[in-house]
Amino acid sequence: MKRILAALCLSLGMMQPTQLPAGSSSAGEPILPADQVAQFSNRVQQDLAARGARVAIVARMGRDPSQMPDGIRYTHVGFWVYSRITEADGSTGMGYQVFNLYQEAGDRTRSNLVRDLPADFFAGAHGLDAGIIIPTPRLQDKLLSVITSPAYAALHNPNYSVLANPNTRQFQNCTEHTLDVLMAALYDTADPNQIKANIGAYFEPQSVRVGGVKRLLASAASRALTTMDHGSQVGTATFGSIARFMQANDFADEVYRVTPDRVIRF
């Protein structure tokens, strides 16, 4: 653990987020000053390193909470993997690389898998508030095996919906892809039909009431905001619902929030 933290502290100064092919449109237009975002992303990295996390699930708050449905705080989730980062000049350093699913800039109903750095991840954040899940060490190993295998990309469905139903394969968003990868790791399967069966059996989505859907429609009118894959009830995967699932089944060592001045138990 100390080696991870020491290597990370040494390498943070070497990493330049703009040197990875992430694309500013992936994270959204910057809202907060770049220096504050960089400082906060380093704080989150150092916190994860101090806890010895090799793989973590991290969420950002990308929209005004008043626009969000009740019970949903974070809008984007990705895997943070402790990795060797190669810079454009050929130099290397240790740090966290982020594995994301982002909407395409030119077509918000489609998505791509993108790898970037923590400062890119928080570039479009509405506020400096990170939700963090550190899986158990054994689950971190299993997640790393899936993330670095062809299954990670194979589980990507480019048909994007903000409120994708995690029980179906019709649409997908970043949180559902995270959940699919998590289930692949937990149950040692890359079969999407088996993964969806396991989600239906063991995972409880976040319920979204009609009023919450209307708030989203008002603030983010888009063809990517559809409920056509739902029945009479709308439910979607969220950071909170994944955290509850992992805590209830002892799959998480720690679940908490980080702000610029506090660490808060979730």
* pLDDT exceeds 60 at position 107: yes
* Better-predicted residue by pLDDT, 185 or 69: 185
pLDDT in tens, 140-159: 999 999 999 999 999 999 99
Distance in angstroms (rounded) separating the CA atoms of residues 120 and 41: 9
With vertex at residue 148, the alpha carbon angle to CA 144 and CA 150, rounded to the nearest 5 degrees, is 130
Q: What is the CATH number of the domain that holds 258?
A: 3.90.1720.10
pLDDT in tens, 36-85: 999 999 999 999 999 999 999 999 998 877 778 778 899 999 999 999 98
pTM equals: 0.86
Structure token pair of residue 60 = 């950002």
pLDDT in tens, 199-235: 999 999 999 875 545 545 444 545 656 777 778 888 9
> What is the per-residue pLDDT for 100?
96
Distance in angstroms (rounded) separating the CA atoms of residues 61 and 129: 6
* pLDDT exceeds 60 at position 126: yes
Q: Classify each residue of 213-223 as buried b or exposed e, where b means 16 or more C-beta atoms within 10 Å of its C-beta.
A: bebbeeeeeee
Axis crossing angle, helix 174-187 with helix 192-202, rounded to the nearest 10: 100
| 58 Cβ contact partners less than 8 Å away, ≥ 6 residues apart | 44, 48, 77, 78, 79, 80, 98, 121, 130, 131, 132, 133
* pLDDT exceeds 60 at position 23: no
Q: State mean pLDDT over 24-41.
A: 77
* pLDDT exceeds 50 at position 18: no
> What is the per-residue pLDDT for 222?
58
Distance in angstroms (rounded) separating the CA atoms of residues 227 and 6: 47
For the chain, the domain total comes to 1
* Better-predicted residue by pLDDT, 183 or 214: 183
Distance in angstroms (rounded) separating the CA atoms of residues 69 and 212: 4
CA count, 13 A, side-chain hemisphere, 123: 18
- Residue 121, domain extent: 2-265
Confidence band of 15 (pLDDT split at 50, 70, 90): very low
